[in-house]
């Protein structure tokens, strides 16, 4: 439980240890998939005192919080252990005032310590996203509201849907499940991200299940948002996309 891993992908990943004693076993002996790395490879695991073969299969999952597993005999030989997914060790903050006369400003300083699985910047980013998701149902931001009918006069959604993208994505070499790729990882602007969240679009699978017409019905969603999403998919995902799907 004390081994710290780092990965930018969600879902379960398989790993293994296979060594021959006598020897010390450390985190460096874990055979990991390319998407996962060990923060401290010197972390001790066990000490083999006899000349025996030691082989074990592991399942690794990115999660949050603390999970307690029930100890019970498993017919398939698996043994679940408690999981600690809390990379932030400590946080301090301080506020300083500055300025002259009537013009005064306050500066917020944050000090964040992590265990290495996330950088302090990444931890702050994740915390900000979680806070946005928490208060999103209560937000009533004053944004430009272009109705679907108005957009329809300017843009006719093509018959080709995101299903084409779905077919191409299934052929990607990495074989990453689409429901394990969250729209947070696309690094979309806050406005576009909030539009998708309000429509209960959380993963890439949710997004690719929508047609362009479905997206244009989302409150405050604009053609520019559709083009931005399309360009982001084309930039970050391993697939062939037709050009100029969204025309301005």
164 secondary structure, DSSP code: H
Q: What angle do CA 89, 93, 96 make, to 5 degrees?
A: 160
Report, as an integer, the average pLDDT of 143-155: 48
- The answer to which of 152-156, 198-202, 220-224 has the lowest mean pLDDT is 152-156
User: Phi, psi at residue 218, to the nearest 5°?
Assistant: -65, 135
Q: 19, 66 in Cβ contact below 8 A?
A: no
Bridge partner residues of 121 (DSSP): none
Spell out the domains of the chain, with CATH numbers in brackets.
5-85 (2.170.120.12), 87-145 (no CATH), 178-236 (1.10.150.20)
- The answer to which of 73-82, 116-125, 173-182 has the lowest mean pLDDT is 173-182
pLDDT at 229 over 60: yes
pLDDT at 158 over 60: no
Q: Give the per-residue pLDDT at 208.
A: 79
How many residues are recorded in the chain? 248
Q: 110, 91 in Cβ contact below 8 A?
A: yes
pLDDT at 236 over 70: no
């Amino acid at each position: 439980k004390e081994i710290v891993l780092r990965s930018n992908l969600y879902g379960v990943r398989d790993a293994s240890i296979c060594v021959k004693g006598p020897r010390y076993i450390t985190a460096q002996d874990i055979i990991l998939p390319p998407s996962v790395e060990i923060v401290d490879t010197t972390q001790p695991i066990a000490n083999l005192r006899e000349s025996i073969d030691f082989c074990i299969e592991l399942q690794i999952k990115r999660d949050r919080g603390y999970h307690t597993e029930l100890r019970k005999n498993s017919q398939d030989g698996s043994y679940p252990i408690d999981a600690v997914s809390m990379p932030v060790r400590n946080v301090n903050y301080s506020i300083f005032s500055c300025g002259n006369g009537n013009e005064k400003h306050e500066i917020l300083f944050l000090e964040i310590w992590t265990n290495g699985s996330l950088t302090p910047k990444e931890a702050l980013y994740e915390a900000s996203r979680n806070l946005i998701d928490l208060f999103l149902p209560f937000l009533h931001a004053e944004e430009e509201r272009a109705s679907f009918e108005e957009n329809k006069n300017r843009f006719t959604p093509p018959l080709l849907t995101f299903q084409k993208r779905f077919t191409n994505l299934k052929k990607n070499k990495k074989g990453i499940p689409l429901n394990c790729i969250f729209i947070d990882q696309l690094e979309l602007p806050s406005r576009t991200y909030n539009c998708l969240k309000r429509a209960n679009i959380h993963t890439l699978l949710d997004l690719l299940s929508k047609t362009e017409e479905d997206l244009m019905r989302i409150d405050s969603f604009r053609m520019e948002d559709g083009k931005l999403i399309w360009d982001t998919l084309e930039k970050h995902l391993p697939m062939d996309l037709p050009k100029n799907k969204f025309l301005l």
